[in-house]
Amino acid sequence: MNPIFKVLLCIWALSVSGAGAANAGPSDADICAFIEKLESDFAKKMPMKVDEITTAIAMTVNCQTKVQVWKKQISVTAEDLASGWEERKQRQHSQLHCNRQGLASASGWTVIDNVYDKDFSLIATLKTTPSSCKLLMEN
């Protein structure tokens, strides 16, 4: 994982957990402001390499609907990926956003990754919602 993403995930975890705060955690307005700041900061750095084959192209936020959308491109075609890759990536996506500090589980946001291949054809949409976190915890 890109070191920038690791740092941002740590910052995000602290902000969502309300570490050091006497209250129950940040308000929806605080979370929105934080994510909008990330959107602004990321826009200056895009495109940004995430891993060996993945590049983050854009990130958008809609605070009214509590949705964060990532646009990512992989440097291969879907046919180049191992069988079952989409299910594995969806599981990883849900685990990331449904953990204790996850955006979906801790803050009630929906996170969507639109994944494009090397030719910019949409090959997958990974989506994690607060309700998908509940289903994940039940299983």
The backbone region for 76, taken as left when phi is positive above 0, alpha when psi lies in -120 to 50, beta otherwise, is beta
> CATH number of the domain that 110 lies in?
3.30.300.250
Is the predicted pLDDT of residue 42 greater than 60, yes or no?
Answer: yes
Domain total for the chain? Answer: 1
Residues present in the chain in total = 139
Is the predicted pLDDT of residue 47 greater than 90, yes or no?
Answer: yes
- Is the pTM of the predicted complex or chain greater than 0.85? no
* Structural domain span for residue 52: 3-138
Band (pLDDT 50/70/90 cuts) for residue 12 is very low
Residues of the chain by 3-state class (helix, strand, coil), percent to 5: 45, 25, 30
pLDDT tens per residue, range 83-111 = 999 999 999 999 999 998 899 999 999 99
Mean pLDDT of the chain: 85
C-beta of residue 26 within 8 angstroms of C-beta of residue 18: yes
Taken in order 99, 59, 68, 120, is the CA torsion positive or negative? negative
